[in-house]
Structure 1
Amino acid sequence: MVRTRLDLDRIRAARNMIDPVFLTTPLYRCDALGHQLGCTMSIKLETANPVRSFKARGTELVAGHLADQGEAAVVCASAGNLGQALGWSGRRRGLDVTVVASRFAPTVKLDRIRSFGAHLELVDGDFDMARERAANIAHQRGVRLVEDSLDIETCEGAATIGLELVGAVSAGDAVLIALGGGAMATGVGHVLKALAPTVEVICVQPLGAPAMTLSWHERRVVTTDSTDTIADGVAGRYPIPAVLDDLLQVVDDAVLVREASIVTGMRLLLEHAGLVVEPSAALGIAAILEDPDRFAGRHVVTIVCGSNVDLDAYHRWVHR
């Protein structure tokens, strides 16, 4: 029995609330990439949807529950992808969505948040400063604050990815999951440990944003003063205690990778899979590059979690 805040029955039921456009995303073997990396490589493509990331699986649950309760407004902090997803889900249900983000977030993400009809407020700091401002807005206006990874809907929505992976993995396989706040890692990890417990669940985080990984290894919350990574989508400094508690139950390992490996991973996904991805989506490939012996000859699944990337920055990274 996997004991976390998540519930397998609720996760199965979530599929009935999530718009099908976000479900059953492509999962396929990529032989060219596997040959390059020395393993059997499968890609779970969470970018093939209207918001280009997995986040809408969770925001569909949040927005659906709010609409059912007659709520009219919602606010969140976002590094970019959650805000887009909440804007998309909220607009479909008539919700007034406010997103607080860092003005240093990629312009493409900020523009797409606006395009989905959300009100965007920018702060002169990082994601954690945006989270503080979002909490203040929620308190002042008396509206729901959506906190990614803390709110169970964000985890259980992401967990539906795990349901789609179960039939494709077996004993000895590894699933690599980008680790930021922890919603995807706890959600997918919960399902795999419940239904495919012999599969190794490995979280991957940048060396320049290591807070959750350090916390996992020390089994206590470890914060950092700053972050320094191109993987903006996973660059948090303050892990949420309840999320860490869940993560400790469902993850077999958490590793840190260098920026150069992330860039190489992005390049390999372009060259061998034809995928343009944001840095967070290349973390799994980076982990294989940094420890090839660990994965040699194994079947490895990596979740490509987002493709909202500034193309000018992308070209500088990948084509330098």
Structure 2
Amino acid sequence: MELDRVRAARGVIDPVFLDSPLFGCDALGRALGCAVSIKLETANPVRSFKARGTEVVVGGLRDQGQTAVVCASAGNLGWALGWSGRRHGMDVTVVASRRAPAAKLDRIRASGAVLEVVDGDFESARERAAEIARRRGIRLVEDSLDVETCEGAATIGLEVAQQAPSADAVLIALGGGAMATGVGYVLKVLAPATEVICVQPHGAPAMTRSWRERRVVTTDSADTIADGVAGRYPISAVLDDLLVVADDAVLVEEASIMAGMRLLLQHAGLVVEPSAALGVAAVLEDPDRFAGRHVVTIICGSNVDLDDYHRWVGAGPQDLGAVEAGR
């Protein structure tokens, strides 16, 4: 990855996804015992950071004269790729697991993408997407492996370095690694004193274990409500990048993820998906580490089934209704 290419990516990405808000949340900070700034990557048409990467991918394919693309997705990437494909007149096929949240699958369909649902988990979807790419001779977009997805995510790092130059630590949800490696790379160049901390659930620990052991470690299964980070097979090249830019990788419990979602609703008025609460969960589990420090947490997505959300957070419909009315 190169800083010039990350800066150039900003010229390709639709401005609606750029310069997302970063703001201090005093109420959340008081609850957590540290200064907390929220980098909000959900106030856009696909409610996640993923379109920063798909805009770069699809823009490049369009310039090459390609007209079709396929990906495997847990939900957010598929919606983002469908959105970018429609903007650039490209046919998009998305393969997703039947286990993916219904709300995410509905949004992929609504984006105009062709959705194929398969049995099994995300890895099964990845295998099917690769098969489609081979059969049709089209580009397979692999989040984190394709450098464009990392460069798009890295534009978040450019903004964080400018918006929060005094940050002591940035907490990043860790799944395949596009956001962690992209943001981490930029911060190491522009804000080297800022600690880059990746956060993953105990129920889906493959990349964190790989980072700790400095080799690819796979798992037989993934069991977490944070479906957006529930991969089992880390990509070796991505791990190599992560080893360079991440200062730490931590694992958090499911109860802490749900508590983090609840705190973000109560103190920031944000309805978020579980992956977006990983940073808050990390502070909850190790408050002494962050006490008195300035922490930035990246709110990476808000695509969540509301029935699941009610169950995890324990909020009644009237509470969510009040939040939605205030938006």
Answer whether TM exceeds 0.5 for this pair.
yes
Kept in 1: contact 2:26–2:35 (CA 8 A): yes
Kept in 2: contact 1:81–1:109 (CA 8 A): yes
1:152-163 matches, within 5 Å, as 152-163=147-158
Instruction: Mark the runs of 5 or more structure 2 residues left unpaired by the alignment.
Output: 316-327
After TM superposition, give the deviation of residue 104 of structure 1 in Å: 1.0
Partner of residue 254, structure 2 = 259
Shift >6 Å, 4+ stretches = none
The TM-score with structure 2 as length reference comes to 0.95
After TM superposition, give the deviation of residue 77 of structure 1 in Å: 0.2
Amino acid at match of 2:29: G
Deviations 1:205-254 (A, max 9, x none): 00000000000000000000000000000000000000000000000000
1:138-157 matches, within 5 Å, as 138-157=133-152
Match status 1:188 vs 2:183 = yes
Partner of residue 96, structure 2 = 101
The TM-score with structure 1 as length reference comes to 0.98
Q: What count of residue pairs does the alignment treat as equivalent?
A: 315
Partner of residue 82, structure 1 = 77
Instruction: Mark the runs of 5 or more structure 1 residues left unpaired by the alignment.
Output: 1-5
Partner of residue 228, structure 1 = 223
Kept in 2: contact 1:178–1:281 (CA 8 A): yes
Kept in 2: contact 1:169–1:199 (CA 8 A): no
Q: In 2 relative to 1, CA 162–172 (structure 1 residues): closer, same or farther, beyond 3 Å?
A: closer
Root-mean-square deviation over aligned CA pairs: 0.8
Amino acid at match of 1:114: R
What is the CA–CA distance in structure 2 between the aligned matches of 1:309 and 1:152, rounded to whole Å? 27
Match status 1:31 vs 2:30 = no
Match status 1:306 vs 2:301 = yes
Partner SS state of residue 163, structure 2: coil
What is the CA–CA distance in structure 2 between the aligned matches of 1:13 and 1:168, rounded to whole Å? 19
Deviations 1:12-62 (A, max 9, x none): 010000000000001000000000000000000000000000000000001
What is the CA–CA distance in structure 1 between the aligned matches of 2:164 and 2:263, rounded to whole Å? 23
Amino acid at match of 1:232: D
Partner of residue 92, structure 1 = 87
Partner of residue 268, structure 1 = 263
Partner SS state of residue 117, structure 2: strand
Kept in 2: contact 1:170–1:198 (CA 8 A): no
What is the CA–CA distance in structure 1 between the aligned matches of 2:164 and 2:69, rounded to whole Å? 37
Amino acid at match of 2:245: V
Amino acid at match of 1:135: A
